[in-house]
Structure 1
């Protein structure tokens, strides 16, 4: 029919349907003669280049998810391929010979209750599988359910997620609940649509009559009035269907499995022989008795209808685009406007929270993630995001709780294990941290960040060879990773391999000429090797890159101290203390410099200040004890050495503990 090949392989055989923004064709694959597929062509509603870039990313992301999902269940239409051509988006789907459900339930004749229950159970089982993958179909309707010719099973086709992204159109309004029209789609929005199909089947509606059905709403509650003239219906089944189609999604069934459980109970308790159900009349043809319920029903429904969702969705997409370009403030403005239109949009809260996180406003990021969770408690990503906000706020226990919840919802997300591992490190729980990093790597063997953090943890645990192996793996994956070279250099230094450490620091600096930490650590090796000029150059370079780096002043002060330049060292420690008045190391080191300069009084004052800002600073107690010995304060010295010994012992610093004990013994003798 058409000689042009789409994607250089698909030839159109027939037009299956044609709408304004969507065309569906029967096609064959030129490379697979006699093959048949369904090809859906989606015309973007907006072809602005900027909007197209956003749609392209969203289209690809959704298609990738659906491609994996549809391969996992035999009763879901498989997504074979997806592509873009001439600014049009295409989906290639499995062709399923069979008949749509419309040919079974819209014949004007009611189905038996057992038939409806069987139909619901079969479709709900498919829905439960889809929802377990955190996907919502969004377009459940009879024409999207096929009775497969080969085995007579029901097959669910044509997910609405991708089509709605590209075309901004929604499916048949008869099957779409209010929250979905407002852009706040829930998992039980699919359950609502299935409930409408069940009502249509039980009442024996025609295609035209289903629209009238939705006009019959209680003006006060918004609930559909449908079973007044069906006195013979099983009341348990009616209650289940009522709960499936509740106006407020919070009062509906929360999961497909819950509906399945209740439907199975009907079969278990139905011991009576099946009765022949009388043919029911359409309730809107007999208005006596229910007129008060449906008066102004149509007006009430339209009054409750939301504003068009296009504006909110476009604002959200614009925000996403700005976020990806690094314009976080602009993204926040767009998300703000989107949330004004739809204050229950969990995705917008989540995205705005991500923007706040990038701006280091972790408190607002945490609040937005909490809002996203409030409106979608099954959003694993929102828990994951809130976990990182809690982590940055120093709330490590709360972070672990969030990562754990994210893992419960999606046990295959390596990043949640990684985040929880980082929090365990902060809480000094290396075993749990190691287990989490191992799990992240098992799930994603090329996760360089997890290897890096595991390597750092290995080094802290004294397992230098295991650490080096992890850093080797990171460097093999990414030879341009300056941080991996630095961390391997630190490990080589801890392993007393100065030459290898120096090479790694050189590599880190070559890859990142502004890497302050690499300059400082290389400077330390140069200082230790007696290369004083090179060491000074590195410390000066670090301060040139960041004149407010208190740690750089401490390193240079230590170098000056080692050269006997005590006044120069004191000057550097003074600068460090100005920049960070709560740094115990700067006070302790300045005390050492004062002591060497002969100022014991200033030395004791500095050691005391170091202990004040860092109460468990064993070395400061030890140093103060030495000065008190020189001052003849035997009692004060013993107290300091005892405190130092206690802390050294707690930290497993055996050699330092023995030194402190030796000083105590000498004083006591």
Structure 2
């Protein structure tokens, strides 16, 4: 079939798949400029007996498909014809990736992500069913995330049948029906040849359960007495959503939803409580976004400042941790020196500084940072003009998050060696961790000026450019670093990060996969490198392979039991795996090693608030953050949210005000403040807060919806409706109460 020209126009260039009702090919249209791609479906009847009737139905089917193609989320039908007693449909080619691929990569999706998928597909199905059409084969591989805009498209309508197939006898109808279904996603009535609209609801429900549990339908458990799927214990899901999915996949047609509209309404009822602060917590402070922010400075490396990281629902980037770069590039000593220096320093005091330098370097590698700092202090005390001692001291201070002291120390080293590329590079990292991206970029450019082959400086230049939101330039810097050091997995990791910010998500995933391979190869050669284990875990976490990430962090701890970052990231992995008690234990262990890690205290507070509902204890953790770093506005904001949940609105408003003093452009703090003010019936002030939030983030539907609520309370009904409509314009699937627009 490959190379064949169909209808004198469509040249087959690839075989895409095959099902019970025919084969699917990728083709080029040779009668249009540029030979654009299209999809050709070759439909074959199952038996000669069905052929005459199938021919009669074909024209009617094709016209029905043409009508459905008017929907933006359904491929258009370009042409249909028959040739050599075989029927062909020519459809729009949707460039993108199937949902099945996302599930393979991410394994499990969060409740919020699954709700978003349900809302998108239900809106498409509602249109389909209005055309009196049953899809009959809904499954992850038939849902495509369109590359151009990230929206979901429902495909494989080449085999749908109109609701009344009166021209087929029951046996023929059953043959056709079974041919176009997929085991596991198909309810009993469809297997018996009597599909209904509810059959599509069942298949979508199974798809949602697969996304939540990570299990293919064939691996799910089923109650032998009732036929109901047993899945709740394998997913972190609210009881409301679990109940909706249970009804969607009820084995009894009578007990299942009879229409898509019913599902949409019930799903909307679960998510419409926009005035509740807990709702806003889920938008502002999702667990994944909290942890993403928390890793930014917990990492011993440069990372994107929290001020430019978004936590908008559904944004995959918020689920990825930021890069971990190995921070040390120290002196290289010959093997075996450790064994003799312990004695030699007693005999030859002249080489004691060399011993302390080497000892400090080794302690850095094993993440014993306080001891490393002591060693470098000893070097400086013995030799105040030893630039390497000052550089090592700066490294230890930077890794302890004492960045201001680290900068002063690097300046001492640069006074002694002003053209040292490595020291400029490390100074740039410390500047970046303080959120000074412009100065960090300047420092990295100096590092490159003194050594144009410094791959680390090129990579860190890219990170600084990301901090300045100059993503294309960042990508070019990472490419340069990769040319210089192709086997360094951190370079691959950073390149993937730039691709994420450029919204080239599929390319990013492929680069992350390459980074994992490179880390694994490096660790095969040197399994005692705790930083490489942690870095590998970070990439696996980006790919949502959290069990594997957890293994990497545990290997790092095995090598270096006092490695703070390994314990911190282990807590993150447990968090993502919804093993919250173990996550808390890991965070507590990290805090024993580094009790002044404000990022770990912040993660701890986020977990207590978002997952355990223990707002009092969460506030204590946020207070610790504020005590350690009063300028960390995220803690003030999230403290405000916790206080709102306890209905302590005046205190919450004071906390939001502190956050806004530090970061007046944080739209989430403005929104939290607006909700607290609305709870106190200070509606005019609440409206002003929402207006400020929408100025900063005009495309956030939550802001417009809450603004509508306060206007409604103020009896400005037309303005309220306008605000609600704007929320729906931004996101047509946004779960507004029906009465809001009446």
User: Over alpha carbons, which structure has the higher Rg?
Assistant: 1
Q: TM-score range by the shorter chain?
A: 0.3 to 0.5
- TM-score of the two chains, using structure 1 as the length reference: 0.43
- TM-score of the two chains, using structure 2 as the length reference: 0.39
